[in-house]
Chain A
């Protein structure tokens, strides 16, 4: 443990092994936190701000969050809550940036269509109940299967499946034409 030097005379003891562990968690989970915040806010700067704030809070309580799974679950919950609070506290609505993954040789018309689809999708997701919304966003983040979503939300895999089923069903009702709706039990 070393003391952090500062312009003020008071010194703060820094636990180096803890700091190294936190740095590892930060590296592993920064994208996750950012994507969770972006899934709510759909604005890069706001999402970064919220995700950074979640990490600062995690650092305060890191002594009891050293377990990897526990840390990630806590981080997801906190980031989500901070993002929801940010939306509620906003005074003026700013245009939400809708980033669409650039596709090779996409024409301007196609880009406009993709933007419109993404906008409709996010609007539909925003109307979902909180638990379904969180499940569908986490499941859409790359690399997250049902088991991983269950670990992040600290709920059984069966509950995750049922929430995803309901979320997809509701989104399909809003976004798909009646003849094309296929309800899958994934």
Chain B
């Protein structure tokens, strides 16, 4: 079929002497444009999801910040109850003297010292949140809405009271009779309930 290697080369060169159609380059450009528009459309859900996450993080940060700013409940016998925070309509609760409170008494001096410290420094160090530049405006808008009362943030729950002491009656467990190993001694009768 082929005379020699040169014949093979010639046939192969001829077979590969082909050109793409006239609209090949236009086809490439159209695919690139299609991919760009797909990326743009796909970016929307990702952008919305990112914005939703930022809103949730900012909301959570505000909740945590408010919880930290509120002073801790004081003992009636040592320190007077603090005035309620402006955002909290419920009055401060004075804890009755109780064994739980008495146990906590040694911590009172520390609370007094903390009360003497300016509220800003009493707060725990807040974690730094890095916000992308194009989302700062969104967060600022959220904060303004929260401050203006247009957005309701969930109120922090009240400090849970210490759980009541449980009284657990002692449990008596009868020893299980172990059968004797002496072959002359007959085995003990089986314990009720055991098979």
Contacts and interface: CB of A to CB of B under 8 A. Distances in A.
A89 interface: no
B5 A27 contact: no
A56 B28 contact: yes
Interface in A10-69: 10-12, 26-27, 30-31, 34-35, 38-39, 44, 47-48, 51-53, 55-56, 59-60
A138 B170 CA distance: 90
Nearest to B36: A12
Interface string B33-73: 00111011101100100000000000000000000000000
B144 interface: no
Task: Identify the interface centre among A117, A118, A120: most chain B CB within 10 Å of its CB.
Answer: A117
B20 A12 contact: no
Interface residues of B, number: 35
Given A10-B47, A172-B8, A34 B1 contact: no
B20 A142 contact: no
A141 B16 contact: yes
B5 A10 contact: no
A26 B5 contact: no
Interface in B4-27: 4-9, 11-21, 24-25, 27
Contact of B5 (A4, A30, A117, A172): A172
A184 B5 contact: yes
Interface string A134-164: 0011001110000000000000000000000
B16 A48 contact: no
Contacts of B35: 56, 60
B3 interface: yes
A122 interface: yes
Interface string A69-101: 000000000000000000000000000001111
B117 interface: no
A168 B44 CA distance: 55
Contact of B20 (A30, A114, A183): A30
A56 B39 CA distance: 13
A173 B40 CA distance: 55
Interface of A is mostly: helix
Contacts of A101: 14-15, 17
A158 to B, nearest CB: 19
B151 interface: no
Contacts of A48: 20-21, 24, 27
A100 B117 CA distance: 92
Contacts of A116: 1
Contacts of A60: 35
A34 B4 CA distance: 28
Given A52-B28, A121-B11, A137 B4 contact: no
A121 B9 CA distance: 10
Interface of B: 1-9, 11-21, 24-25, 27-28, 31-32, 35-37, 39-41, 43-44, 47
Given A98-B15, A136-B12, A184-B6, 5 more contacts: A8-B40, A38-B16, A51-B24, A118-B11, A140-B15
Interface of A: 4, 6, 8, 10-12, 26-27, 30-31, 34-35, 38-39, 44, 47-48, 51-53, 55-56, 59-60, 98-101, 114, 116-118, 120-122, 125, 136-137, 140-142, 168, 171-172, 175-177, 180-184
7 contacts: A6-B40, A101-B14, A118-B15, A171-B5, A172-B2, A172-B8, A182-B6
4 closest Cβ pairs, A-B complex:
A34-B20, A101-B14, A140-B12, A55-B28
